[in-house]
Amino acid sequence: MRRVRTAVLVVLPLAFVLLAVVRLAVGGWSNVEAVIAAAALVVAYVGTLRRARPPDSASDLADRLSDEVMQAARREAGNRDVPHSRGIPVRCESGGALPATVEDLADHLLSRRQSVVVTGERGSGKTTLGLLLALRMPSVQHRPIPVTLPLSSWEPRLTLRAWVALRLSAEYPFLRGDPLALERLIRSGSLLAVFDGFDEVPPARRAEVIRAIDEDWSSSPYVLTSRVDAFTGPVTRRLDGTPVLRLLPVDAAGVAGYLESRWGDVPEAAALVARLRAEPRGPLAEALDTPLMIFLAARICESGHTPRIDGTAEQIRKGLVAGFVPAVYRPEPEADQPWTPEEAARYLRTLATFLRGRGTHDLAWWELHHALPRAVIPAFQTVLGMVIFGPLCTAVFALFGLRAIGWWFGLAIGLAGGLAVSLARQHHPREARPRLRKTLTRRYLLRRLGQGLVCVAPGMVIVLVLYDGVSYALTEGAVFLLGFLAASLALAPANADKAGTPDGFLRNDRAAVLLAFAAGGLVGLAVGAYLGWWMETGLRVRDQVWLLTLDRWEQTLIGCASGAVLGAAGFGTTMMAPSAWGRFVNVRAWFAFRRVLPLRLMAFLRDAYERGVLRRTGPYYQFRHELLQDRAAAGPQPPGSAPPAPPATTP
């Protein structure tokens, strides 16, 4: 029913435009008719607003958030080889105050609503603990909802609670429907905040983070994760009352048992197991003492490669990190391999370098336009405008014997319009399918009015050139401007009703732009019908115009076709230029031309996610670990710096 109502309200303003044009074409309508039609439009819109679904309560939001967190955790767990139970046997050291295994720790934190600081070395499983908390959530009654919040994205200008609300709204846009309910959800202690990556916060800001947690979140349960060396010194004294535990290295027997149970039928993994059992205190056992290194080794073995098992522990770790991407992108004999290992490494290096320059771990496709040179977007928009409007205006003016004028006029429109729309600030991607905008602000209206004027001005100039009388141009401009504002109202960004995904945001944004093309075609059809109907009496250019030899219905039909094509092109390009999808098209074209990113960039990101190179947090991608991001940013190793691994041998 909601879709039907939305569809009606998209069509209603455009139908109103069509009715206005038809009435004007047959002689105009009275003031009474105009008032009645406008009042009907307003009443229909207001009636829809009154029938809008009431905002969710805090309990409803909690239930929906719990379901979304669980679904996202299951997807991530399947992609990152994190089972619900009997996973990598990571043990904890807390002086006996807390359980000794991460699985028991997760159940304890969910049932007791206790705060804790979790420390460990790189790759020891700190971030995975947040995933495990979500996976084990159904097994605990009356549990809080674990939500992972990367501290590296915290903005000091915001309070901690405001930042948590902002971050949750970005990952789960349906929470924006009722900010007060979200605030009650946060204050009620219904969330178990996993503040991840304290060590990734710049040292100068760590005291501020600790103070914010102590002052803003002390009444609610939380988990703070950090590397051991970062959570030391005077800055941590404010949390002296919070238990601190350390994730211990995984022993050789635990690693061997895990690999044998999960990948015992893989010959390369069997070689690792044999070496671990033969040398339980050797360099290989020392290297594979964290979940990250175990994951890398298992994925390399699964791809048919033999990871390096000789040398020092540090050499083995570096070999695993360096060999992970080439291994998972190894060409399969009878499988479609869209990217070679060399291409994948080049693309990942571009993404890692971009993230390093932005100072973040969150890869958002709609922010990649910041990596473009400043002149690329204006150049792209002007070229696109001239390519589209040059031939279109040439074809339209050729109907009136003015082919040369039409060509130059089209190029001028493309150049000026392309420069104008390229200066607009990029819109945020649409988190949901287009819906009728229920709240209007002065800023929104002024922006759309400016875009509308850029869109309708070229059409008014065309009508002034071809038709005798300003009234035709004013009618065309008024109808197109009204249609543009109606389309902007119907296609405005809306809050989503479920957790966002990178591909979902892209599909929604692209759908809105394509609907703008359709709306422009419909309005152009109406305007073209009006101008075609009055062509016989209103045309300024009359010498050698073969259209004047046609019947009136034929002139109207040609006017409809010309108006629809020009209207679609005008509406569509004006809406596409500042859209997130439009700018992303520029990004893909530019970086594909330079061969540093693939043209099918979203497909590459999805593929990297499925291979375990990337992970996903709401609408963002992240590298599986900062070690992989740093390795990708460093680029290919110099020849000879990493000799190939020798064949695996069984002692």
How many CB atoms neighbour CB 203 within 10 A?
Answer: 10
Helix axes 601-610, 341-358, angle to 10 degrees: 100
The percent of residues above 70 in pLDDT, for the chain, comes to 81
Pairing of the two strands 145-150 and 191-196? parallel
Instruction: Supply the DSSP string of 22-49, one letter for each residue.
Output: HHHHTT---HHHHHHHHHHHHHHHHHHH
Strands 244-247, 116-120: pairing kind: parallel
- Residue 394's CB is within 10 A of a number of other CB atoms, namely 19
Predicted confidence (pLDDT) at residue 305 exceeds the cutoff of 70: yes
Helix (H, G, I), strand (E, B) or coil at 513: helix
Structure tokens at 205: 């800001």
Query: What is the reported pLDDT for 449?
Result: 76
**Segment 144-158 mean pLDDT:** 84
- pTM of the entire predicted model: 0.78
Q: What CA–CA distance (Å, rounded) separates 498 from 106?
A: 26
Per-residue pLDDT tens over the stretch 373-400: 988 998 998 998 899 888 888 888 888 7
Q: Which of 32-41, 173-182, 604-613 has the lowest mean pLDDT?
A: 32-41
Contacts of range 14-18, beta carbons closer than 8 Å, 24 or more positions apart:
14/483, 14/486, 14/487, 14/519, 14/522, 14/523, 16/41, 16/486, 17/479, 17/482, 17/483, 17/486, 17/523, 17/526, 18/522, 18/525, 18/526
Residues carrying CATH 3.40.50.300, the chain? 58-247
Q: Which of 167, 105, 187 is nearest to 140 (CA)?
A: 105
> Could you tell me which residues come within 8 angstroms of residue 583 by beta carbon, excluding any fewer than 6 positions away?
366, 369, 377, 426
With a cut of 60, say whether residue 220 has pLDDT above it: yes
State the pLDDT confidence band at 586, using cuts at 50, 70 and 90.
very high
Span 506-526, mean pLDDT? 86
Q: Are the CB atoms for 272 and 127 separated by under 8 Å? A: no
> To the nearest whole number, what is the mean pLDDT of the chain?
79
Query: For the structural domain made of 58-247, what CATH number should be given?
Result: 3.40.50.300
Nearest to 448, CA basis, from 495, 482, 477, 473: 482
Q: What is the pLDDT of residue 641?
A: 41
Q: Is the pLDDT of residue 55 over 60?
A: no
Residues 340-349, mean pLDDT to the nearest whole number: 92
Give the number of other Cβ atoms within 10 Å of residue 11's Cβ. Answer: 15
Which is nearest to 256 in space by CA: 248, 265, 264, 267?
Answer: 264
Top-confidence residue, 476 or 646: 476
Edge-first strand order for the sheet with 244-247 is 92-93, 244-247, 116-120, 222-227, 191-196, 145-150
Determine the Cα–Cα distance for residues 63 and 77; give it in Å rounded to an integer: 21
Strands 614-617 and 620-623: what pairing?
antiparallel
Task: Summarize the confidence of residues 264-293 as an average pLDDT.
Answer: 87
Q: Where in the chain is the domain with CATH 1.10.10.10?
A: 342-364+584-634
Q: How confident is the model at residue 328 (pLDDT cuts 50, 70, 90)?
A: confident
CA distance 19 to 10: 15
pLDDT for res 493: 58
Task: Pick the more confident residue, 391 or 186.
Answer: 391
Q: Where are the alpha helices (H) located in 235-282, listed in sequence order?
A: 252-263, 267-278
Q: Which two tokens stand for residue 69?
A: 């967190």
The Cα–Cα gap between 436 and 169 comes to 20
342-364+584-634: CATH number: 1.10.10.10
How far is 525 from 557, CA to CA, in rounded Å? 9
Answer whether residue 648 shows pLDDT above 60: no
